[in-house]
Amino acid sequence: MKRSVIAVEKISKTYGSGESAVHAIKEATFEIFSGETVALLGPSGSGKTTLITMIGCITEPSGGKLTLNGSLVYDQKWYINDTRKIRRENIGFIFQSHNLIPFLNVQDNVTLIPLMNRVSSKESLEHAQELLEYLGVGDKLDKFPSQLSGGQSQRVAIARSLANNPKIILADEPTAALDSERALSVMELLRKLAQEQDVAIVVVTHDERMLPLFDRILRVEDGVVREEH
């Protein structure tokens, strides 16, 4: 049975005040469930990144309510003391640029967050090896980011996002730097992960070619979020 993993209720974000105020997100309300792959679709400047950073507890909303994995996180104020901790323990992030640490090899990039969460070295390494094998880059453990192709780097970044066993993965344009074939491969992989790992995956994209791979589409236009049917 699918569980509600992200519940957003009338969330808003306004920058500035008075006549110069910019309403980036206007009272968005929706739910996302475990095992779903959901697209946030819209043109540049529509509010997609603002929305995903509020869900990821990076940007503080101006109002509304946010519940993650059954726990109230924000309701007109933060209900958690340490937003970094909730990100580290509950959310995986994937970005347009893989953002791998260049002076760490693949193994160390993937084990970094579990070690910060005080998972043992042995368990962190075993999990990293399992993830990298699962993602088809298990032979790259000792390679550095500069020795990987774009597609391999993004797969390692996906492994890193899964290293803390998150229930939520937030991806901001994860295929924008890839050619069509590699982009399709990464999106198919994310969909497979959602279904097999029971993870809720939210992907910011403007690439409409990828839309058949999503379970649902949330379109963002001028700060207004609507579900497409």
Structure tokens at 53: 């950073």
pLDDT of residue 206: 79
Residues comprising the chain, all counted: 229
According to the model, what pLDDT value does residue 17 have?
86
- Determine which helix (DSSP H) or strand (DSSP E) holds 141, and give its type and residue range: none
Question: What pLDDT shows up at residue 110?
Answer: 93
CA distance 219 to 228: 7
Tell me, what's the pLDDT at 81? Answer: 85
Read off the DSSP letter of residue 61. P
Task: Tell me if residue 220 falls in helix, strand or coil.
Answer: strand
User: In this structure, what token pair is assigned to residue 45?
Assistant: 């400047």
Domains and CATH numbers, the chain: 34-61+79-228 (3.40.50.300)
Side-by-side strand order, sheet with 224-228? 91-95, 168-172, 200-205, 37-41, 216-221, 224-228
In the sheet that holds 71-75, the strands lie side by side as 22-33, 4-15, 63-68, 71-75
Residue-wise pLDDT tens digits, 84-107: 888 888 898 887 777 899 999 999
CA distance 84 to 65: 19
This prediction's pTM: 0.85
Task: Give the pLDDT confidence score for residue 182 in this predicted structure.
Answer: 75
Q: What are the C-alpha distances in Å from 125 to residues 110, 121, 155, 157?
A: 8, 6, 17, 16
**Residue 127's closest CA among 114, 118, 136, 116?**
114
Q: Which residues of the chain have pLDDT under 70?
A: 1
Q: Please report the pLDDT score of residue 9 as a whole number.
A: 97
Q: Distances in Å between the alpha carbon of 76 and those of 11, 55, 146?
A: 9, 14, 44
The total of other beta-carbon atoms located within 10 Å of residue 27's CB is 15
Separation CA 87–CA 102 (nearest Å): 22
Q: Report how far Cα 204 is from the mean position of its chain's Cα atoms.
A: 9
| Other Cβ atoms closer than 10 A to 11 | 23
Report how far residue 73's alpha carbon sits from residue 65's, in angstroms, rounded to the nearest whole number: 8
